[in-house]
Amino acid sequence: MNHHKTGREVQRLADFWPHVKSAGLFFSVASVPGFARRQTVLQCTIPAVGEPLPILPQYPVTGDRAHVKPTNIGAHEYFHKVVDCQWACPAHTPVPEYIRLIAAGRYSDAYMINWRSNVFPGILGRVCDRPCEPACRRGRVDKEPVAICRLKRVAADLKDDIRDRLPLAPEKKNGKRVACIGCGPASLTVARDLAVIGYQVSIFDSGATPGGMVRSQIPKFRLPDSVIDEECGYILDLGVEAYFNHWVKSLKDVLAEGWDAVFVGTGAPRGRDAEIPGRQEAAAHIQIGIDWLANVAFGHTTKIARRVIVLGGGNTAMDCCRSARRMGGEDVKVIVRSGFEEMKASPWEKEEAIHEGIPILNMRVPKEFRHENGTLTGVLFEIVRAEYDAKGRRSLIPTGEPDEFHACDEVLVAIGQENAFPWIEKDIGLEFDKWGMPVLNEATLQSTLPKVFFGGDAALGPKNIITAAAQGHEAAISIDLFCRGKDQLKRPPPMVNLVSQKMGIHEWSYDNQVSEEERKKVPVKALEKTLKDIKLELELGFDPFMACAEAERCLNCDIETVFTVKTCIECDACVDICPTECITFTANGEEDDLRGRLKAPAKIRDQALYVSDTLKTGRVMVKDENICLHCGMCAERCPTGAWDMQKFFLQCAEAGTEARRT
Amino acid sequence: MTYLAKPKLLRADAPKNALGYTRRDYEGAISTLCAGCGHDSISAAVVQACFDLDIEPHRVAKLSGIGCSSKTPDYFLGASHGFNTTHGRMPSVLTGAALANRDLLYLGVSGDGDSASIGIGQFAHAMRRGVNMTYIVENNGVYGLTKGQFSATTDKGSKNKRGVVNNDTPIDLMALALQLGASYVARSFSGDKEQLIPLIKGALRHRGPAVIDVISPCVTFNNHAGSTKSYDYVREHNEAVNRLDFILPRDQINASYEPGSLRRVVQHDGSILHLRKLGNDYDPSDRVGAMNHLQERHALGEIVTGLLYVDSSAEDLHRHLNTVEKPLNQLGDAYLCPGGKALEALNASLR
C-alpha cells in the first residue's frame, strides 16, 4: 500500500535520518507550497505499518550549495562563442555558413557573405593571418584545423561576376563629407560602409594605386595585383573619390577643408632599424625590409646581391627572404633573436620559406655589421638562450659561446614596424601617448579631436589586415553616429538568428556526417618556375573537388545543440550516443567541481559549459562545448525532441544600422 | 535510431585502459533500436564495465536469443565473439560453448519475453546447473518487437498504451533465480548507470551464474502513465537495498566509509565488492532473507534494486562435472580420441 506524504511530513522524516538528509533526497512531481524547490521531497513511499522507509538518496540534491546557474542561451554571446572561428575572427565572419555554401558549389553566395564581413575575401583568402584556424574546433579533435583561409580564396576564385550583387551608393547623398587618409584596408572599409548609406567619401593616398600595405609590402607571388585591383575597385566604384599621388602634409590643413569627419588609416609605415656598429658605414648594403619590399613591388628594385641575410622573425622577414630568393639571391638566410617557436611569423609562412631552401637560424642577436671600407662583408652574431622570469617575461642571456660570423653581401632589416605621424601637428588638440600613439576611445576609435577617427595599424599598433577591416567597420559606425549627433557608445547590435535545422526524423538541413579526411594541402606551382618569376603566384588554390572535401571537414559549429528541460525524460540516450562523451546528467555544483565530475572532465576553462535548469530528478544536464562535434546524434537519439540542432547566424552591425531603443 | 555511424574523431585526452584501448574500442555497430530505448543504456553500461575491467574483447563471447534485447549484442563489443541463437535458447547454447571452452567470458543477453516466456525453462536450468556466466535480462515488461503486448513480467494492474489493464500475475525472474541457486543476483535500472555499471562488473568477475534483471523502459510501447516500467514510475518506486563499489585487486581503496555502513565481499578472483548499506540492515548473503525481502517489498509496490544476493564461494558447472581445464579446441587428437583399445577397456569396465 502506498501512502503519499505531504512535503512537511517528508521533511520531518528527513530530519529523522541524518545520513539521508546529508546525501540529498529523491523527489519528483511539482512543488509543494512552503518548500524551496530544490530542498523538498515531494512524494515518497511509506509502508502502511511500522517504521517508515528511508527516502533513498537517488541523486544528491544541491540544496543551498553553490551551483552553476543555467546557461543563458538567449544572450547571443553564448552561442557565438561556440562558433570558435567566428568568435576569433576580428570581423566575426560567419565562417561555417560560407564553408557550407562552398561545399554546395555556391561560390558567389559564399563570397558575398565574406564580402559583407571582411570586405577583401580574395586578398584575405591568400594572405590573412587566420586567427580563425588556431581556434578551429577541428584542431582539437583532429590533427589539423579546417583550411578556412584557403576556402575563402576558393569562393573568390570560383565565383561568378558578382558586381550586380554589390550595393549601390544612393544617388541622393546625405550631405556629409568624410575624408580618409591612406588607401589601405581600413580606409577602404570605412569608405565602403559610409558610401552605401549616402556619405560622400574622399580618399587620399601618396601611392599611385589603392591597397596601401597590401599592395606595397606583400610580394606579388603571394598576392597578385589583379586581386587587389578587383576588390579595391568594388569600393572605389561606389562613387568614392580617390586622390592618388597625394601626400597629406598636414592634418591641420585637412581639417580646415571643412570635412564632417576625418578617418586616419595610414598604417605603420616606418620599419625599425638595427642600430649596431657598422650600420652607417655599410649603409649602402643594408636596407629596411618594408621599404625594400615596396621598391620590389613597384619595380624600382629588380635585383639583389648573391648572399643575403634577413634579420627578423616576423611575416615581413619571411616575405623579404622569399622575395630575395626570387630576385637572384642564391644564399639567403633568416637570422632571428628568438627561438623558432616564438617567432612572430605564422607557422605556414615559416614552412614556405624553409620549403624554398631558406635556412632559419635562431637565438642569434646581431652585434655588428662587418665591412671593408663601406663594403659589407657580413654580420657578427652573439649566441643567446631564452630565460623567463616568474611573470613569464623573456630575457635573452648570452650563452658564452664565441660570436658567430655570417658572411653576406646585403642585409634586409625586418625587425618590426612603427607608427609615424609626422604630418599631424601637435597643437591641434589631438593627443598622443608616451609611445607616440594617438589617444583613442577603444570602443569608438575616436581621437581626442572629436572629428578625427583612427583605424588599422595606425590606431592601436600594427596587427593585420583582418583587424584593419574590423576596425574600419567600427570606425564607420562611430563616424555615422557622430555625424548624426548620436551617442557613439550606443552601438547597434549584430543581426542574430537561431532556427531549427530539423527536416525529418533523421534529416537535417546540414550535412551532419563528420568527414574523417585529413586537411588538404593547397597545390603549388613548381619551385623552379616560381623562384624565377617574382610575379608568378605560387599557390594554385583548391580545385572544386578539393574545396568540397576540405569544406566537408568543417564541423558546422554554428549548428548549435539546444536543450529543452521540460521535454527531457532523462533516458540517457544522448549521453550514450555522444561520440566525444560531452554530455553528462549530474547534480549541480560549483563550476570546478562540476567540470571534474563530467563523463569527460572539462579541462579547458575558456570553453563554456552548457548547464540546463534543474530536471525532474533534481539533476542538471551539463554539456562541455569544447569537444562537441555538432554531429546531431544527441538530437537524433532524443525520443522527445528535447535536443534540437539550431543554426546560429550572426552578422555584425554595419554603419547605418539603428541601435536598440531601450 | 540513427542512420549514420558514430564519427571516429576522439578528443585528444580520451582515457585509455591498461590494454591501451579507449571506451570507443568497446562499442559495436550503431544501434537500430528506437531513440531513447533503455536497452541502449545497458549496452553503454556493458561497454563501460568491460573498458574499466581491461577485458580483452576477443576473450568475450556474447550470446542472445530473439527480441529487441537480443539485438543489442550487435551494439557493443564489436570485436568479441557473438552468437544469436533461436528464441529463448541462449542459455543452452551458452552452456555448450562454456563447456567446450572455459577460457572465455560468457555474457548472455536476453529479455523478458526471451527469458520469462519462451525460454523460461532454459533460464531455470542454466541457473540450477550453475553455468559460469553473466546473464543480463533487459526487462521492459512488454513485447516491443511485436507492437507492445503484455509480457510475462508485466505487473498486475499495469496498463498498456491503450489503457487495457494486465490481469496476469508477473514472473519475478530474480525470485526464480534465487530459488534456483543463482549465486549473484541483482536488479537495476537502465536509467541509473551509477548503480548498473558496478553490478555488471561484479557479475563479470563472479564465478557461477550471475544474473542481473535490468528494468529497461520501452519508450515506444511502455513509457506512459499507468505503466509500472516507465522511466518516471521506476524512478519513483526504486528502492535500492545497497550501493555497490566494485574494486579490482590492483586498485587502491581511497573511499572511506562510516563504520558499520559497509559490507565487504571478496570474490574468488580477489576482486572486492563494497556494499554500502542504505537504510535498514539488508543482508545480501542470506538467500532466504533476500527472497522474503523481494516478496514483501513487491507487495508494497516497490521495485527493489541493488545486489540482492551474492555467494562468493559458489562452485560452478565445471567443478560439478569435473571438466578439463583446457579448451577442447586446444587438446590434441590423441587426447580427444584415445583409440580403439581405450574404448574396449571402457566398454569392458561397464559390462
Give the gap in angstroms from C-alpha B6 to the nearest C-alpha of chain A. 6
| Cα–Cα distance for residue pair A187/A57, rounded to 1 Å | 65
- Look up residue A421 and give its amino acid: F
CB-CB neighbors (< 8 A) of B280 in chain A: 53-54
- Which cell numbers hold the place of A276? 649596431
Residues A573, B40: C-beta atoms closer than 8 Å? yes
Q: Among A85, A87, A86, A111, which residue's Cα sits nearest to residue A98?
A: A111
CB-CB neighbors (< 8 A) of B196 in chain A: none
Q: What dihedral do alpha carbons B71, B76, B79, B82 form, nearest 10°?
A: -30
- The CB density around residue B351, as the number of other CB atoms within 10 Å, is 4
Burial of A367 per CB tally in 10 Å (0-12, 13-18, 19+): middle
Residues B236, A572: C-beta atoms closer than 8 Å? no
- For residue A550, CA distances in Å to A327, A538, A662 come to 34, 20, 44
- Which cell numbers hold the place of A13? 522524516
| Cα–Cα distance for residue pair B53/B269, rounded to 1 Å | 13
Q: What are the residues whose beta carbons fall under 8 Å from the beta carbon of A388, sequence distance 6 or more? A: A394, A395
What topology does CATH give the domain A272-416? FAD/NAD(P)-binding domain (3.50.50)
Structural domain contains residue B218: yes
Per-residue pLDDT at A317 exceeds 90: yes
- Look up residue A274 and give its amino acid: A
Structural domain contains residue B3: no
Residue from B1, B4, B72 whose CB has the most chain A CBs within 10 Å, to mutate: B4
Answer whether A570 touches B (CB < 8 Å): yes
CB-CB neighbors (< 8 A) of A595 in chain B: none
DSSP for B152-220, written as a single string: TTPPTT-B-TTSPBP-SPPP-HHHHHHHHT-SEEEEEETT-HHHHHHHHHHHHT-SSEEEEEEE---TT
Answer whether B147 touches A (CB < 8 Å): no
Answer whether B67 touches A (CB < 8 Å): no
Residue from B2, B24, B229 whose CB has the most chain A CBs within 10 Å, to mutate: B2
- Regarding predicted confidence, which is higher, B72 or A31? B72
Residues B35, A2: C-beta atoms closer than 8 Å? no
Q: What is the CA radius of gyration of chain B?
A: 21
CATH code: domain of residue B253? 3.40.50.970
Phi then psi dihedrals of residue A508, to 5 deg = -125, 155
**Look-up: residue for cell 583613442?**
A440
Give the gap in angstroms from C-alpha B24 to the nearest C-alpha of chain A. 8
Q: Among A603, A512, A565, A503, which residue's Cα sits nearest to residue A73?
A: A565
Q: List residues bridging with B185 in a β-sheet.
A: B211, B309
- For residue B305, CA distances in Å to A120, B188, B239, B240 come to 65, 5, 6, 4
Residues B40, A603: C-beta atoms closer than 8 Å? no
- Which cell numbers hold the place of A203? 580618399
Task: Give the confidence band of B257 by pLDDT, cuts at 50, 70, 90.
Answer: low
CB-CB neighbors (< 8 A) of B6 in chain A: 577, 579, 633
- What pLDDT score was predicted for residue B259? 66
Answer whether A2 touches B (CB < 8 Å): yes
Per-residue pLDDT at A607 exceeds 80: yes
Range of the domain at B86: 23-326
**Look-up: residue for cell 584593419?**
A468
- Which cell numbers hold the place of A281? 658605414
Per-residue pLDDT at A16 exceeds 80: no
Q: What are the residues whose beta carbons fall under 8 Å from the beta carbon of A90, sequence distance 6 or more? A: A131, A466, A467, A469, A470, A471
Task: Give the confidence band of A136 by pLDDT, cuts at 50, 70, 90.
Answer: very high
- What pLDDT score was predicted for residue B250? 79
| Cα–Cα distance for residue pair B60/B45, rounded to 1 Å | 15
Average pLDDT, integer, range A190-202: 96
Answer whether A569 touches B (CB < 8 Å): yes
CB-CB neighbors (< 8 A) of A575 in chain B: 44
Phi then psi dihedrals of residue A270, to 5 deg = -110, 120
Q: Which B residues 255-294 touch A at CB under 8 Å? A: 258, 278-280
Per-residue pLDDT at A60 exceeds 70: no
Average pLDDT, integer, range B136-151: 95
- What pLDDT score was predicted for residue A61? 45
- Look up residue B171 and give its amino acid: I
CA atoms within 13 A on the CB side of A120: 32
Per-residue pLDDT at A443 exceeds 60: yes
Burial of A635 per CB tally in 10 Å (0-12, 13-18, 19+): buried
| Cα–Cα distance for residue pair B221/A262, rounded to 1 Å | 72
Structural domain contains residue B347: no
Residues B3, A506: C-beta atoms closer than 8 Å? yes
Question: What is the distance of C-alpha A293 from the center of its chain?
Answer: 27
Per-residue pLDDT at B2 exceeds 50: yes
Q: Which A residues 149-168 touch B at CB under 8 Å? A: none
Structural domain contains residue B11: no
Partner residue opposite B7 with nearest CB, options A45, A579, A626: A579
Mean pLDDT taken over chain B: 92
Per-residue pLDDT at A172 exceeds 60: yes
Domains A166-269+419-483 and A272-416 share a fold: yes
Structural domain contains residue B333: no
Partner residue opposite A573 with nearest CB, options B35, B237, B239: B35
| Cα–Cα distance for residue pair B199/B186, rounded to 1 Å | 7
Task: Give the confidence band of B255 by pLDDT, cuts at 50, 70, 90.
Answer: low
Q: What dihedral do alpha carbons A634, A639, A642, A647 form, nearest 10°?
A: 50
Partner residue opposite B231 with nearest CB, options A569, A577, A633: A569
| Cα–Cα distance for residue pair A229/A214, rounded to 1 Å | 11
Answer whether B155 touches A (CB < 8 Å): no
Per-residue pLDDT at A25 exceeds 60: no
Answer whether A28 touches B (CB < 8 Å): yes
CB-CB neighbors (< 8 A) of B2 in chain A: 506, 577, 633, 636-637
- What pLDDT score was predicted for residue B334? 87
Sign of the torsion formed by the C-alpha atoms of A475, A477, A480 and A484: negative
- Which cell numbers hold the place of A259? 570635412
Residue from A637, A638, A640, A643 whose CB has the most chain B CBs within 10 Å, to mutate: A637
Three-state secondary structure string covering A400-419: CCCCEEEECCEEEECCCEEC
Q: Which A residues 606-625 touch B at CB under 8 Å? A: 616-617
Listed by start position, the domains of chain A span: 1-61, 62-76+493-515+553-662, 93-164+516-552, 166-269+419-483, 272-416
- What pLDDT score was predicted for residue B256? 66
Number of residues that this document lists for chain A: 662
Q: Give first-to-last CA distance, chain A, whole Å.
A: 59
- Which cell numbers hold the place of B313? 564461494
Answer whether A573 touches B (CB < 8 Å): yes
Q: Among A465, A474, A467, A425, which residue's Cα sits nearest to residue A445?
A: A474
Q: List residues bridging with A586 in a β-sheet.
A: A620
pLDDT tens-digit readout, A104-126 = 999 999 999 999 999 999 999 99
pLDDT tens-digit readout, B186-225 = 999 999 999 999 999 999 999 999 999 999 999 999 999 9
Mean pLDDT taken over chain A: 88
Residues B239, A579: C-beta atoms closer than 8 Å? no
Q: What are the residues whose beta carbons fall under 8 Å from the beta carbon of A423, sequence distance 6 or more? A: A248, A249, A250, A251
pLDDT tens-digit readout, A69-92 = 999 988 899 999 999 999 999 999
Give chain B's domain count. Answer: 1
Partner residue opposite A54 with nearest CB, options B2, B13, B279: B279
Task: Give the confidence band of A614 by pLDDT, cuts at 50, 70, 90.
Answer: very high
- Which cell numbers hold the place of A231? 576588390
Average pLDDT, integer, range A159-187: 95
Q: Among A285, A314, A347, which residue's Cα sits nearest to residue A334?
A: A314
In this prediction the ipTM stands at 0.90
Give the gap in angstroms from C-alpha B124 to the nearest C-alpha of chain A. 31
| Cα–Cα distance for residue pair A230/A212, rounded to 1 Å | 14
- What pLDDT score was predicted for residue B261? 77
Q: What are the residues whose beta carbons fall under 8 Å from the beta carbon of A546, sequence distance 6 or more? A: A520, A523
CB-CB neighbors (< 8 A) of A57 in chain B: 278
- For residue A328, CA distances in Å to A331, A353, A398 come to 9, 15, 34
Residues B7, A631: C-beta atoms closer than 8 Å? yes
Average pLDDT, integer, range A46-65: 39
- What pLDDT score was predicted for residue B279? 67
Structural domain contains residue B262: yes
Question: What pTM does this model have?
Answer: 0.86
Partner residue opposite A579 with nearest CB, options B9, B41, B239: B9
Q: Among B87, B294, B274, which residue's Cα sits nearest to residue B185?
A: B294
Task: Give the confidence band of B5 by pLDDT, cuts at 50, 70, 90.
Answer: confident
| Cα–Cα distance for residue pair A245/A174, rounded to 1 Å | 28
Whether the Cβ atoms of residue B61 and residue B82 lie closer than 8 Å to each other: yes
Residues B300, A47: C-beta atoms closer than 8 Å? yes
Give the gap in angstroms from C-alpha A637 to the nearest C-alpha of chain B. 5
Per-residue pLDDT at A211 exceeds 60: yes
- Regarding predicted confidence, which is higher, A45 or A396? A396
Per-residue pLDDT at A28 exceeds 80: no
- Which cell numbers hold the place of A272? 625599425
Q: Among B179, B228, B182, B189, which residue's Cα sits nearest to residue B203?
A: B182
Architecture category of domain A166-269+419-483 in CATH: 3-Layer(bba) Sandwich (3.50)
Task: Give the confidence band of A26 by pLDDT, cuts at 50, 70, 90.
Answer: very low
| Cα–Cα distance for residue pair A99/A104, rounded to 1 Å | 9
